[in-house]
Structure 1
Amino acid sequence: MSKSTALIITIVFLILTSPFYFNGILVLLTSYDVLVRQKNRVDMSGSGIDLVLKKRYDFIPNLVASVKEYKNYEKSSLKVLLC
């Protein structure tokens, strides 16, 4: 087989298989984009959970303070009624 025949066979082979290479590259790029999108969704969900936990953490001391104030109000109301 001469060099020109081998070159022609190689070129034909590359032309025939090039769609597979491009499809493979396209699949890799699409998969990467999907993974990045999923990572961003996970990060956003995590920040939402952090926000809810912070609100809950801030809510408990406020609830305790409100109950103490209500207890003092009830105590003073009972003193007025009983005296």
Structure 2
Amino acid sequence: MRTGSEPSTARSALRMRLWLSLWGLAWSVFGTAAFALTGRPGWAAACAVLWLVICVDFSLIVRHIRQGPHYQPGHDVPPYRPPEGS
């Protein structure tokens, strides 16, 4: 619900999420390889699943960055009224 007190220049920390995703990607690739080489297939599979999740998150982050800023109502648009009974 929009209350009207949101900052007009608020942005998501997509660049930070991008770098954290890359950091996690590097560690999950390393973990998958290390556990596979040491004969721990369960841990290697767990790291591989984490690798897949990180790749999906990374692709969504890149998609959001490429979309650019979305429409935000200006100062002339009044805030939404709270639902009745709240």
TM-score range, shorter chain: 0.3 to 0.5
Higher gyration radius (CA): 1
Tell me which protein shows more helix as a share of its residues. 1
TM-score, length basis structure 1 = 0.34
